[in-house]
Amino acid sequence: PGERAENETEKGLRVQDKGFLNTAVIRSEITYIDGEAGVLRYRGYPIEQLASHSSHLESAYLLIYGSLPTREQFKHFESEVMRHGVMHADTEGFFRSFRYDAHPMSMLTSAFSMLGSYYSEANPSLQGQRLYTNGDQASLATMDRQIYRLIGKATALAAMAYRVRQGRDFVTPPVGLSYTGSFLYQMDHLGEENYTPNPVLEKALDVLFLIHADHELNASCTTVLQTASSLVDPYSAIAAGCASLYGPLHGGANEAVIRMLVSIGSPENVPAFIEAVKRREKTLSGFGHRVYKTSDPRSFIVRKTADEVFKVTGRDALLETAMALHDAAMKDEYFIKRKLAPNVDFCGLIYRAMGFPMDFFPVLFVVPRVVGWLAHWRQMMLQEGGVKIWRPRQVYVGAGKRDYVPVEQRV
């Protein structure tokens, strides 16, 4: 003390790391990213292999439990997730209480939080300090149930947020469809007999779900863990993650991409737009990434998926503008120097072609990302040594001690 440099404390060196560029807060076995080489792996498996051969729900099991499931394990997982997809009837009133034009992300964020109110085990103070323990089967069963519920109900809540705005009745999840097929049914079904979703679109959405399922410690996942570090229930932690994802620099970017393309209008306006970006008057949404300093590997899967979808839906009129924008940015010194390349958010074009409204795009990001949030939450809860509350420090740069001044003496 006294001799200590300003950034040294009794616990070590305090560094200021704005935006956490160089701060690791956890040791993780879930997702590996090499941002320089454009590599993304879930539990060691390359994202390209999973997108080609796996399904969203199978990859969800992999992300959460660490290995690809056997047939039996998958059957059990799928049936539990699907069984928990049904909502309590009272939730209809909850959704109908929103203003007619409420943003679906506002509804969804609130809905995750509301979900916790249905389950008494959600309140950690009822359970004592250590909620989950590796050897304690009962606590692990509780955790599994919470995982099934949150993944199962994510599609139901999303579909309810959609249908209430369309003035449609809510539908119960059907029996016999896949996770993604059931989601499309809950969104689109208008009472037709023998309704089934288009298989090409169902597969395409499932691939998009799979590639959005996790991306290590992005803003929303960090928010989930930060929130859960106080040992709050997972429903509240997921609600916090949902709120974080809503922002235009994160999950809101897929919506921002379409708004940007609409505002550009057509390919001949691209050069002027690029110049405005370089003057910092505009943002090129769908470009740039905190971790990737080359093309996001998911962007190639998005492009391939788009080709499949457009065969069914027809080409989107904005596609030409998107391609002109991509080509212009990839050749421009401003973007090359800053290593800015396409990220995953051009998937907004696919969502638009499939008929989803623009403000629903971030919801299509949340539904699969619930899986990644839960994988990280489970890992943190079960880590050796227990959970340590996340409490960063600041570098205080405000006023020194001042004495209170009565209002009549203030100038």
Is residue 189 within 8 Å of 171, Cβ to Cβ?
Answer: yes
Question: What's the longest Cα–Cα distance across the chain?
Answer: 79
H or E element at residue 9: strand 8-9
- From the CB of 340, what's the least distance to ligand ACO, in Å? 5
Taking CB under 6 A as the criterion, the residue among 197, 286, 297, 372 binding ligand ACO is: 286
Answer yes or no: 403 catalytic: no
**What are the b/e assignments for 225-253, b being 16+ CB within 10 Å?**
bbbbbebbbbbbbbbbbbbbbbeeebbbb
What's the first-to-final CA gap in the chain, in angstroms? 39
Answer yes or no: 289 catalytic: yes
Catalytic residue, candidates 214, 316, 345, 376: 345
Size of the site for ligand ACO (CB under 6 A): 18
* CB atoms inside a 10 Å sphere around CB 357: 14
- From the CB of 345, what's the least distance to ligand ACO, in Å? 5
343 binds ligand ACO (CB under 6 A): yes
Is residue 95 within 8 Å of 169, Cβ to Cβ?
Answer: no
Taking CB under 6 A as the criterion, the residue among 151, 274, 284, 349 binding ligand ACO is: 284
Which residue, among 239, 219, 218, 260, has the nearest Cα to 348 in the 3D structure? 260
- From the CB of 241, what's the least distance to ligand ACO, in Å? 13
Taking CB under 6 A as the criterion, the residue among 62, 107, 228, 277 binding ligand ACO is: 277
133 binds ligand ACO (CB under 6 A): no
The region of 8-16, 56-64, 224-232, 287-295 touching ligand ACO under the rule CB under 6 A is 287-295
234-245 and 219-228 helices cross at what angle (nearest 10)? 150
The region of 33-41, 124-132, 154-162, 341-349 touching ligand ACO under the rule CB under 6 A is 341-349
Is residue 350 within 8 Å of 204, Cβ to Cβ?
Answer: yes
361-381 and 104-116 helices cross at what angle (nearest 10)? 30
Is residue 264 within 8 Å of 318, Cβ to Cβ?
Answer: no
Tokens of 170: 């809510």
Taking CB under 6 A as the criterion, the residue among 77, 287, 360, 377 binding ligand ACO is: 287
340 binds ligand ACO (CB under 6 A): yes
The region of 31-39, 201-209, 340-348, 378-386 touching ligand ACO under the rule CB under 6 A is 340-348
- From the CB of 253, what's the least distance to ligand ACO, in Å? 3
> Which CB atom, from 110 or from 285, has the smaller least distance to ligand ACO?
285
Residues engaged in binding ligand ACO (CB under 6 A): 19, 249-250, 253, 277, 283-290, 338, 340, 343-345
**Which residues have a catalytic role annotated?**
289, 345
